[in-house]
Chains A and B, each alone.
Chain A
Amino acid sequence: MEATSAGAMGAPRPDLYRKRTRRSTGEAAIRYALLAAALISILTTTGIVISLLEETVKFFGHVGIGDYLFGTKWTPLSGGRSQSFGVVPLVFDTLYLTGIGLLVAVPFGVGSAIYLSEYASPRVRKTLKPILEVLSGVPTIVFGYFALTFVTPTILKGLGLEVGSFNALSAGLVLGVLVLPTIATVADDALGAVPGSLREGAFGLGASRMQVSLRVVFPAALSGVVAALVLGASRAIGETVIILVAGGQTTNLTLDPAQAMQNMAAFIAAASRADIPTSGPEYGAIFAVGTTLFLMTLLLNAISIRFVRKYRQVYE
């Protein structure tokens, strides 16, 4: 394979062929090592799916899937006859708490984004935007503490509302504060992506800044803003600690925000600390709820990506 014969002109022909040297085997080895690292992400997803599915399948051996999906009594940790695995209240509470959170996070988050993008001067933006970043860096346990020891006693009782020490309103409101920076940041990016020429055209027609923001910029950025909302919702649905600390341990199928409520993630955390045998259905319930939660967030994530792709406005 090695061409060492001299060429017709007299100079030796350079050997350009790929050689199996230690160096090139080393390069190949490195490539495979890097690939192995990259495959860890796939392994992680596979691991999540397997760890969830295995016990979930076992669980549905004990409890009928219909009873789980449509049952309206969720008392998995009760003994004897009163034990029931209908997940509807748990899912309802999860969505209810998320709903309260979004009621706060959406208007304040989108409002912040519009202000930062359309009204704030570059200097103001530089000072105010970090506040959002700081807020998003606060550990959730701190928010849980805040909800339990400040929002519930001081704010809510201070307003004269009759709420329990653990209540959905407190947990939901703080959940909204947690999610607000996510919505604001992604929405701000979406608004910023709208080209300046559109704003110029609108201003040139004599529109006020409010009209330009609401009638031209916001509609143009709509798909990105919706993606922000879906992202925020996804984050809120999976949040554990705030609900665990401030929302309570009971699952209530009720519309009364003064009641205690628990969401899927908080249940998983609480139940995994409880002393339960790994053979019983209670243990499997943790995984069944985990699967439900996982599927819900996966679905929301997929919707968010799809939505952005489908409705993104073409500017050019």
Chain B
Amino acid sequence: MNTVAEASLSRKVVERASTGQRTRDLMFRLALLASLSMGFVVLAALVIDVVSDGASKLSLDFLTSFPSRISPENTGVESALIGTVYLMILCALFIVPVGVATAVYLEEYANRESRLSRLIEVNIQNLAAVPSVVYGILGLAFIVRGPLGLGPVLLAGALTLGLLVLPVVIIVSREAIRAVPSSIREGSLALGATQWQTIWKHVLPGALPGVATGVILALSRAIGETAPLLVIGAATFARFNPEGITDRFTAMPLAIFEFISDADTDFRAAGAAAILVLLALLVVMNAGAIFLRNRYERKW
């Protein structure tokens, strides 16, 4: 016999759920919320930890002094900060043309079904999953030594980081290009423009906000990377600023690494301060990306 009918056809037709079931539902919901809150709690703990350790060391002197091996009071991040900024610029000069060109090729020129296109696409997918340290090995073997033989210099670092984040730029640019409606292309072509003229004058400008956001995010990732730079042999301690692209250099993540590897808590505090500088830089970049996205994003 169907006990459902028995249980429910009583005077009070619609009953409350059993307390057991209700408790279980509530507990489940709370457990899920706790999971989500965990991320928030850790983030907060991290920020508080870094700020409390390093805020006292932040000063203009800190930004304009070279690091010191001897005295944690006089140490600074000038060389690392300059190095990071140069890296970012050089990296952008590499990833923007190459990344956008690849995206344009795949979206506008390539035959989607051809083996070559699919090979390129699979490649990009796989490259996005390769650990950053392997990119360091690539840089070491081909750019620092090997065929290019540049040595552990700015250009080498920028190219290595560029190859690391290139898949991000390609993927984001492709989406931005795809979002431009085909009616715009058709209109241009119908007026007699060539394919490239259409892309250069209509498609790329339309995709620009999306591409810019993607590039900024890629650069944020690039300047936060430590492993590839360690492997290619970039310095973690430098008392000079790089002058040209073939100069040796250090960068913020490397300087931070050097500081926190020291057993002295004062130097570690300098590491925390350096982290704050790096985070500030990242916040500015990401805020810029969000601003760009909100202000210029086109809803087609």
Contact = CB atoms under 8 A, between A and B. Distances in A.
A and B touch in the complex (CB under 8 A): yes
Interface of A: 23-24, 26-27, 30-31, 33-35, 37-42, 44-45, 47-48, 50-52, 54-55, 107-112, 114-116, 119, 128, 131-132, 134-135, 137-146, 148-150, 177, 180-181, 184, 208-210, 231, 234, 237-241, 244-245, 265, 268-269, 272-273, 286-287, 290, 293-294, 297-298, 300-301, 305
24 contacts: A30-B196, A40-B166, A41-B127, A42-B119, A51-B146, A119-B32, A128-B40, A138-B224, A139-B278, A140-B225, A142-B256, A142-B275, A145-B272, A146-B45, A146-B50, A150-B49, A180-B38, A238-B133, A245-B261, A269-B136, A269-B227, A272-B233, A293-B134, A294-B130
B120 A38 contact: yes
B166 A41 contact: yes
Main secondary structure of the interface of A (DSSP, over half): helix
Contacts of B146: 51
A112 B36 contact: yes
Contact of A37 (B32, B97, B195, B225): B97
B9 interface: no
Interface stretch (B20-28, B85-93, B201-209): B20-28
Contact of B32 (A115, A132, A290): A115
B3 interface: no
A90 to B, nearest CB: 13
B137 A286 contact: yes
A111 B226 contact: no
A119 B138 contact: no
B256 to A, nearest CB: 5
A290 B137 contact: yes
A144 B224 CA distance: 12
B76 interface: no
Contact of A298 (B17, B31, B46, B129): B129
Interface band, chain B = 35 or more
Contact of A210 (B28, B129, B231, B260): B28
B260 A298 contact: no
Interface string B216-247: 00001100111100110100000000000000
A44 B36 contact: no
B40 A131 contact: yes
B19 interface: no
Interface of B: 17, 21, 24-25, 28-29, 31-36, 38-40, 42-43, 45-46, 49-50, 53, 97-98, 101-102, 104-106, 109-110, 119-120, 123-127, 129-138, 140-142, 146, 163, 166-167, 170, 194-196, 220-221, 224-227, 230-231, 233, 253, 256-257, 260-261, 268, 271-272, 275, 278-279, 282, 286
Contacts of B140: 51, 272
A241 B17 CA distance: 51
Contacts of B134: 48, 52, 238, 290, 293-294
Question: Which of B32, B123, B275 has the largest count of A CB atoms less than 10 A from its CB?
Answer: B32
A298 B123 CA distance: 11
A39 B286 CA distance: 30
B105 A140 contact: no
Contacts of B29: 115, 119, 209-210
B130 A38 contact: no
A151 to B, nearest CB: 9
Contacts of B43: 131, 134-135, 138
A199 B110 CA distance: 41
B194 A51 contact: no
A48 B139 CA distance: 9
B195 A48 contact: no
A20 B80 CA distance: 53
Given A51-B138, A131-B40, A297 B131 contact: yes
Question: Which of B129, B166, B221, B278 has the largest count of A CB atoms less than 10 A from its CB?
Answer: B129
Contact of B227 (A119, A150, A209, A240): A240
Given A245-B257, A265-B227, A301-B125, 13 more contacts: A26-B196, A27-B196, A37-B105, A38-B105, A41-B120, A42-B123, A51-B138, A110-B35, A138-B46, A141-B257, A241-B226, A268-B231, A269-B227
B46 A146 contact: yes
Contacts of A119: 29, 32-33
Given A34-B109, A298-B126, A301-B129, A140 B226 contact: yes
A45 B123 contact: yes
Contacts of B282: 137, 139
